[in-house]
Protein backbone atom coordinates (compact mmCIF):
# COMPACT_ATOMS: atom_id res chain seq x y z
CA UNK A 1 0.00 0.00 0.00
CA UNK A 2 2.85 2.37 0.86
CA UNK A 3 4.45 1.79 -2.55
CA UNK A 4 1.18 2.63 -4.30
CA UNK A 5 0.89 5.86 -2.33
CA UNK A 6 4.51 6.76 -3.13
CA UNK A 7 3.93 6.10 -6.84
CA UNK A 8 0.81 8.31 -6.80
CA UNK A 9 2.60 11.10 -4.90
CA UNK A 10 5.48 10.95 -7.38
CA UNK A 11 3.01 11.09 -10.27
CA UNK A 12 1.05 14.00 -8.78
CA UNK A 13 4.23 15.96 -8.08
CA UNK A 14 5.29 15.41 -11.68
CA UNK A 15 1.91 16.70 -12.88
CA UNK A 16 1.95 19.74 -10.60
CA UNK A 17 5.52 20.71 -11.44
CA UNK A 18 4.71 20.47 -15.15
CA UNK A 19 8.19 19.50 -16.27
CA UNK A 20 9.88 22.43 -14.54
CA UNK A 21 12.10 20.14 -12.51
CA UNK A 22 12.79 16.46 -12.10
CA UNK A 23 10.96 14.66 -9.31
CA UNK A 24 12.95 12.10 -7.27
CA UNK A 25 11.91 8.49 -7.73
CA UNK A 26 9.92 8.21 -4.52
CA UNK A 27 8.51 4.85 -5.57
CA UNK A 28 11.98 3.35 -6.00
CA UNK A 29 13.23 4.88 -2.75
CA UNK A 30 10.31 3.26 -0.94
CA UNK A 31 10.89 -0.07 -2.65
CA UNK A 32 14.61 -0.15 -1.87
CA UNK A 33 13.93 0.99 1.70
CA UNK A 34 11.42 -1.85 2.16
CA UNK A 35 13.96 -4.33 0.78
CA UNK A 36 16.62 -3.06 3.18
CA UNK A 37 14.48 -3.28 6.31
CA UNK A 38 12.93 -6.63 5.35
CA UNK A 39 15.81 -8.64 6.85
CA UNK A 40 14.15 -11.98 7.52
CA UNK A 41 12.40 -12.34 4.20
CA UNK A 42 13.96 -14.73 1.72
CA UNK A 43 11.10 -14.31 -0.75
CA UNK A 44 11.80 -11.15 -2.73
CA UNK A 45 9.54 -11.97 -5.65
CA UNK A 46 7.07 -9.33 -4.44
CA UNK A 47 9.75 -6.66 -4.97
CA UNK A 48 10.46 -7.75 -8.53
CA UNK A 49 6.77 -7.71 -9.43
CA UNK A 50 6.25 -4.38 -7.67
CA UNK A 51 9.16 -2.86 -9.58
CA UNK A 52 7.82 -4.27 -12.84
CA UNK A 53 4.30 -2.92 -12.22
CA UNK A 54 5.53 0.50 -11.09
CA UNK A 55 7.94 0.75 -14.01
CA UNK A 56 5.43 -0.24 -16.66
CA UNK A 57 2.88 2.22 -15.27
CA UNK A 58 5.50 4.98 -15.26
CA UNK A 59 6.53 4.15 -18.81
CA UNK A 60 2.97 4.17 -20.08
CA UNK A 61 2.13 7.36 -18.17
CA UNK A 62 5.17 9.51 -18.96
CA UNK A 63 7.68 7.94 -21.32
CA UNK A 64 5.29 6.39 -23.81
CA UNK A 65 7.61 3.52 -24.67
CA UNK A 66 7.12 0.57 -22.34
CA UNK A 67 10.31 -0.90 -21.00
CA UNK A 68 12.74 1.93 -20.25
CA UNK A 69 11.95 2.56 -16.60
CA UNK A 70 10.64 -0.98 -16.15
CA UNK A 71 14.05 -2.38 -17.01
CA UNK A 72 15.73 0.13 -14.69
CA UNK A 73 13.36 -0.57 -11.80
CA UNK A 74 13.68 -4.34 -12.04
CA UNK A 75 17.46 -4.05 -12.52
CA UNK A 76 17.78 -1.96 -9.36
CA UNK A 77 15.72 -4.46 -7.36
CA UNK A 78 17.81 -7.37 -8.58
CA UNK A 79 21.06 -5.56 -7.75
CA UNK A 80 19.81 -4.61 -4.28
CA UNK A 81 18.66 -8.18 -3.58
CA UNK A 82 22.04 -9.58 -4.66
CA UNK A 83 24.22 -7.03 -2.86
CA UNK A 84 22.16 -7.03 0.34
CA UNK A 85 22.06 -10.83 0.30
CA UNK A 86 25.87 -10.97 0.34
CA UNK A 87 25.98 -9.23 3.72
CA UNK A 88 25.17 -11.42 6.73
CA UNK A 89 22.32 -10.11 8.92
CA UNK A 90 24.76 -9.33 11.74
CA UNK A 91 26.83 -7.10 9.45
CA UNK A 92 23.84 -5.10 8.21
CA UNK A 93 23.58 -3.19 11.47
CA UNK A 94 26.94 -1.49 11.78
CA UNK A 95 29.01 0.15 9.11
CA UNK A 96 26.45 -0.05 6.32
CA UNK A 97 25.76 3.67 5.97
CA UNK A 98 27.83 4.05 2.82
CA UNK A 99 26.37 0.89 1.28
CA UNK A 100 22.82 2.01 2.08
CA UNK A 101 23.56 5.37 0.48
CA UNK A 102 24.99 3.66 -2.61
CA UNK A 103 21.94 1.39 -2.98
CA UNK A 104 19.53 4.30 -2.55
CA UNK A 105 21.53 6.36 -5.04
CA UNK A 106 21.46 3.47 -7.49
CA UNK A 107 17.66 3.54 -7.29
CA UNK A 108 17.75 7.15 -8.47
CA UNK A 109 20.54 6.80 -11.02
CA UNK A 110 19.85 3.65 -13.03
CA UNK A 111 16.18 4.03 -14.11
CA UNK A 112 16.48 7.53 -15.64
CA UNK A 113 19.87 6.66 -17.13
CA UNK A 114 18.55 3.93 -19.42
CA UNK A 115 16.35 6.15 -21.65
CA UNK A 116 19.15 8.69 -21.89
CA UNK A 117 21.69 6.05 -22.87
CA UNK A 118 19.35 4.57 -25.46
CA UNK A 119 17.82 7.77 -26.88
CA UNK A 120 20.74 10.13 -26.27
CA UNK A 121 18.66 13.09 -25.09
CA UNK A 122 15.30 13.95 -23.62
CA UNK A 123 13.30 16.98 -24.69
CA UNK A 124 16.20 18.84 -26.23
CA UNK A 125 18.42 18.74 -23.13
CA UNK A 126 21.64 16.85 -23.12
CA UNK A 127 21.75 13.55 -21.28
CA UNK A 128 24.49 14.64 -18.89
CA UNK A 129 22.72 17.86 -17.94
CA UNK A 130 19.47 15.99 -17.37
CA UNK A 131 21.21 13.47 -15.13
CA UNK A 132 23.00 16.12 -13.07
CA UNK A 133 19.80 18.07 -12.44
CA UNK A 134 17.89 14.90 -11.61
CA UNK A 135 20.59 13.78 -9.15
CA UNK A 136 20.71 17.20 -7.48
CA UNK A 137 16.96 17.08 -6.86
CA UNK A 138 17.13 13.45 -5.68
CA UNK A 139 19.90 13.95 -3.12
CA UNK A 140 17.69 15.40 -0.34
CA UNK A 141 15.18 12.55 -0.74
CA UNK A 142 18.01 10.00 -0.60
CA UNK A 143 19.45 11.57 2.55
CA UNK A 144 16.04 11.64 4.24
CA UNK A 145 15.43 8.00 3.33
CA UNK A 146 18.88 7.05 4.60
CA UNK A 147 18.26 8.90 7.87
CA UNK A 148 14.94 7.09 8.35
CA UNK A 149 16.61 3.75 7.61
CA UNK A 150 19.49 4.29 10.05
CA UNK A 151 17.08 5.49 12.73
CA UNK A 152 14.91 2.42 12.18
CA UNK A 153 17.91 0.09 12.47
CA UNK A 154 19.08 1.82 15.64
CA UNK A 155 15.63 1.52 17.25
CA UNK A 156 15.18 -2.12 16.26
CA UNK A 157 18.61 -3.33 17.40
CA UNK A 158 18.76 -1.46 20.71
pTM of the model: 0.86
Phi, psi of 155 (to 5 degrees): -70, -35
C-alpha to C-alpha distance for 123 and 112, rounded to whole angstroms:
13
Torsion sign over Cα 83, 89, 91, 93: positive
Local confidence pLDDT in tens for the 158 residues of the chain: 889 999 899 888 888 887 666 788 899 999 999 998 886 566 789 999 999 999 999 888 887 778 888 999 999 999 999 998 888 877 777 667 888 899 999 999 988 887 777 776 555 556 667 778 888 889 999 999 999 998 888 887 65
Amino acid sequence: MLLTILWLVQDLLTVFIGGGMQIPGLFMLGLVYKLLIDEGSEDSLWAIWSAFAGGILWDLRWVGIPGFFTLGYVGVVLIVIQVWGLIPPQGRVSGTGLLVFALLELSQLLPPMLPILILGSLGGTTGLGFMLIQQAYSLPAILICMYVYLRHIRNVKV
